Amino acid sequence: MADPVPRRRFLQAMGAAGTASMLSSPSLSTPAQAQASTAPANAGRDPADLVFKSGKVITVDAAFTIAQAVAIAGERIVAVGPDAAMAAHTGPATRVIDLNGKTAIPGITDGHAHMDREALREVFPSLGRVRSIRDIQDRIADLARAKQPGEWIVTMPIGDPPYYFDVPDILAEKRWPTRQDLDAAAPDNPVYIRSIWGYWRGTFPLVSCANSEALRRAGITRDTVAPVATLTIEKDGNGDPTGVIVEREMQPMAELIWFRQASAFTHADRLRALPLSARAYHAFGTTSVFEGHGVAAELLRVYKQAYREGTLTMRVMGRIQLQPRLAARASKGAAAPLREERHPRGHDRLAQSRPLRGGRPGDSARGAALGDQPHQHDLAARDRDDRPHGPGADHAHQQLSLQGAA
């Protein structure tokens, strides 16, 4: 099952290429621009809370000025310019950080983040760098020792993340583990090894593996018929399932149909992972995300709880698809069904829901997020939806905007 080399090289090189091109940009170290000054967007007489000095501050203004220093008061940039200009904004309580020539950039907005998934990848354990069925058995047995009898063992796919190429060829046996292999490793627990998500790698097949107890709980027997033509339940010479499920489908239907509950994230999983995901994004300079693909109800609940508890450190915008009944209410000017929240630090980060705004079919998600009030912190309904949802369906989208705690 060889993978096309051009795609593989593309996937493996993209992350490194983006970082390298940014770090090698000549604009980051142009001496002539280092002393340039830009007018502060909101200059004031009160001392700043924070001053960064002696750096390369990329302003992204009209001239793409590279300044030395920046002063911040509260949540506003009050001055940008040479180090000397910061004296007027520095008081006894001002924290001054010497960048020592390092680069400071404006916060990055990720336009299609799926931010919550970053730390959720740690919920289900990795099998590690396995190179044989025995390696897989040893890892499963190790996981079983930390479980109670009957408790599910669900793992990430076999192979090397993030793309899991060349499986099962990287295994000494050149095959997938069967239910009997997994039974031997964890005789008292249901075991399910997940497949990769097809959209991530973009190549087939997707393969998952289950032991006998997992198959029993899923109701998969010798008589089970594959629910879709793209899914194959492999059988042995006696006609019994081997535990190997092969799919030529972008979404792992076996997991979604038979193992959905075992592989689902709990509310506690999501709530614990969200701040960790935000921290990982912050490490690369991301301060805002736009979940334009839509926010599921279970994720919205987590975002709102994290927001209320003060653990949300990311500015978040997202789109929520409304059901027809709510869409009809919104189209008549009814307020969106999400009430006002108050941030625990006392800031009204989430204003009261507003009625439907005048969107048009074909308005882009980007336009919804980057309108003429990019920093308004409200929930609003939009009547934009250019995708059909069935006869007579009348869907709308709410625009979600949350400002994380500083």
Same domain, 244 and 302: no
Same domain, 93 and 173: no
Comparison of pLDDT for 402 and 252, the residue scoring more = 252
Span 87-103, pLDDT tens digits: 999 999 999 999 999 99
At 401 the pLDDT is 59
Range of the domain at 149: 124-258
At 336 the pLDDT is 42
In a domain, 115, yes or no: no
CATH code: domain of residue 60: 2.30.40.10
Give the Å distances, CA to CA, from 297 to 48, 104, 116, 316. Answer: 40, 36, 13, 15
Same domain, 92 and 128: no
Same domain, 88 and 145: no
In a domain, 163, yes or no: yes
Structure tokens that stand for 182 in this block: 């997994």
Q: Are 66 and 58 in contact (CB under 8 A)?
A: yes
In a domain, 213, yes or no: yes
**Rounded mean pLDDT, 195-219:** 95
In a domain, 23, yes or no: no
Q: How far apart are CA 166 and CA 160, in angstroms?
A: 9
In a domain, 356, yes or no: yes
Q: Are 191 and 140 in contact (CB under 8 A)?
A: yes
Helix (H, G, I), strand (E, B) or coil at 183: helix
Is the pLDDT at 162 greater than 80, yes or no? yes
**Rounded mean pLDDT, 367-396:** 28
Q: Which is nearest to 385 in space by CA: 316, 307, 320?
A: 320
**Rounded mean pLDDT, 210-214:** 98
Pairing of strands 231-235, 241-247: antiparallel
| Last residue in a domain, options 224, 258, 292 | 258
Span 123-157, pLDDT tens digits: 999 999 999 999 999 999 999 999 999 999 999 99
Q: How far apart are CA 291 and CA 397, in angstroms?
A: 12
Same domain, 135 and 62: no
pLDDT grade for 184, boundaries at 50, 70 and 90: very high
In a domain, 21, yes or no: no
Same domain, 95 and 153: no
Percent of the chain with pLDDT over 90: 60
The rounded mean pLDDT for the chain is 77
Q: Is 380 left (phi over 0), alpha (psi -120 to 50) or beta?
A: beta
Same domain, 250 and 275: no
Q: How far apart are CA 257 and CA 250, in angstroms?
A: 14
How does DSSP classify residue 349?
A: -
Same domain, 281 and 396: yes
In a domain, 113, yes or no: no
Comparison of pLDDT for 368 and 83, the residue scoring more = 83
Is the pLDDT at 275 greater than 90, yes or no? yes
Number of alpha helices (DSSP H) and beta strands (DSSP E) in the chain: 12, 18
Q: Are 126 and 143 in contact (CB under 8 A)?
A: no
| Last residue in a domain, options 215, 232, 258 | 258
Q: In what order do the strands lie in the sheet with 315-322?
A: 108-110, 286-291, 315-322, 396-402, 380-382, 354-357
Q: What does pTM read for this prediction?
A: 0.68
Q: How far apart are CA 156 and CA 177, in angstroms?
A: 14
Q: How far apart are CA 251 and CA 226, in angstroms?
A: 15
| Last residue in a domain, options 258, 288, 322 | 258
Pairing of strands 50-53, 69-73: antiparallel
Structure tokens that stand for 299 in this block: 């994720």
Same domain, 326 and 361: yes
Same domain, 138 and 251: yes
Same domain, 78 and 149: no
At 9 the pLDDT is 53
Is the pLDDT at 345 greater than 50, yes or no? no
Number of domains in the chain: 3
Q: How far apart are CA 379 and CA 372, in angstroms?
A: 15
In a domain, 248, yes or no: yes
At 321 the pLDDT is 59
At 295 the pLDDT is 81
Helix (H, G, I), strand (E, B) or coil at 71: strand
At 390 the pLDDT is 32
At 322 the pLDDT is 56
At 397 the pLDDT is 45
Same domain, 349 and 243: no
Query: What are the phi and psi torsion angles at 260 (to 5°)?
Result: -65, -45
Is the pLDDT at 377 greater than 60, yes or no? no
